[in-house]
Structure 1
Amino acid sequence: MTITTISSREFNQDTSGAKKASQQGPVYITDRGRPAHVLLCMEEYQRLTGQNTSIVDLLVMPDTPPVEFEPERAIIAPRPVDL
């Protein structure tokens, strides 16, 4: 894993180069010489956060009990027309 450090200005001038470098390891982006941001490839981000599941898998929630839901009937009253 290679750690790359670039300035904000370099990042703005060569974004595609920073994205390519993020495939080899994290890219530190500095502001006035101090680290301000980190660019990671998506696979590395998901590995670090443990988010390897898709949104569909999260929405299915197979282990939850069924929810009873009886919404109130909406009453829509007409109002007079003002032309």
Structure 2
Amino acid sequence: MTVTRLSSREFNQDVGRAKKAAAEGPVVITDRGKPAHVLLTIGDYEKLTGGKRSLVKALTMPGLSGITFEPEPVRIESRPVDLS
């Protein structure tokens, strides 16, 4: 895996080059010589984050059963409606 470094100016002037470099590995984009952003392919990003996750999978993650959820009761009062 190759890590490419580009300045913000280089990135803005040649986005295509950055995209091609991202196919080979992460592209570190610098601002004033300091790393500021990383460009990845979507495949590399999904590997890094564990891929797409459905709401059902997120809610059934281990360890969530210990979280207590006790919402405050809501009191809704009725009142007469004037339909005249």
TM-score, structure 1 as length reference: 0.64
State how 1:3-42 maps to structure 2 within 5 Å: 3-42=3-42
CA deviations 1:2-52 (Å, max 9, x no partner) are: 000000000000001101100000000000011000000000000000014
RMSD over aligned CA atoms reads 2.3
1:44 and 2:33 aligned? no
| AA matched with 2:34 | R
* Superposed structure 1 runs of 4+ greater than 6 Å apart: none
- Equivalenced residue count is 61
List alignment gaps of at least 5 residues for structure 1. Answer: 65-83
TM-score, structure 2 as length reference: 0.63
Calculate percent identity across the aligned residue pairs. 59
Cross-structure match for 1:77: none
Give the whole-Å Cα distance in 2 for the aligned partners of 1:36 and 1:45. Answer: 17
List alignment gaps of at least 5 residues for structure 2. Answer: 61-84
